[in-house]
A and B are shown apart, each in its own frame.
Chain A
């Protein structure tokens, strides 16, 4: 199994809603990542979890809250988002934090904030 699975594929939410994005991998990878991608732009790093602990937060606003319940799961909790937060949110994993850049990406969750 070499897949990273993200749910939901599409999400529409209002600015007062609370929702979560979920990511799962069963490759035994010990590093997991959240990236945000706007149209026609490269993915931007948001968070990195190494061995289930948050190791990098790229100054992401607190309305985005990551969680890593176990080594296979990664969540991104969303609250009080703004329309400019509409984007494709990509989850990725790597064998370990020092895996030289070989990330395995999911297909993303496309978020629209109204």
Chain B
């Protein structure tokens, strides 16, 4: 869905299907791109990162893709489970400033 005002973009996925969460970034100076998961009532949790000179990195059930040409980052979750329900944030790491800046979030909801 579209982000309008205070509403988070939401992705609704059938349990067992694959999920793809997208993020657009604007700053080409980032050294790493990171995905965080934030469950209700909790702080964000690191999922996976990718160095800016790579285009793909795989973890356990997750894959991050980086397309620097169009400044696009995606997180793919295989075989989505109820425990994957959360808000997912992309973030950028700037080594020159030693800081992490979070981008917009997407709420992932799982249909049984």
Contacts and interface: CB of A to CB of B under 8 A. Distances in A.
A binds B: yes
Contacts of B45: 105
Size band of the interface chain A makes with B: 20 to 34
B6 A98 contact: no
Contacts of B93: 100-101
Contacts of A35: 102
Contacts of B95: 98, 100
Interface of A: 4, 31, 35, 39-45, 48, 50, 55-56, 90, 92, 97-98, 100-108
A107 B95 CA distance: 26
Interface in B1-54: 6-8, 31-32, 34, 41-46, 49
A101 B44 contact: no
Given A43-B102, A101-B91, A56 B44 contact: no
Interface of B: 6-8, 31-32, 34, 41-46, 49, 89, 91-93, 95, 97-105
Given A42-B105, A100-B49, A101-B49, A107 B43 contact: yes
B49 A105 contact: no
B44 A105 contact: yes
B36 to A, nearest CB: 8
A43 B87 CA distance: 12
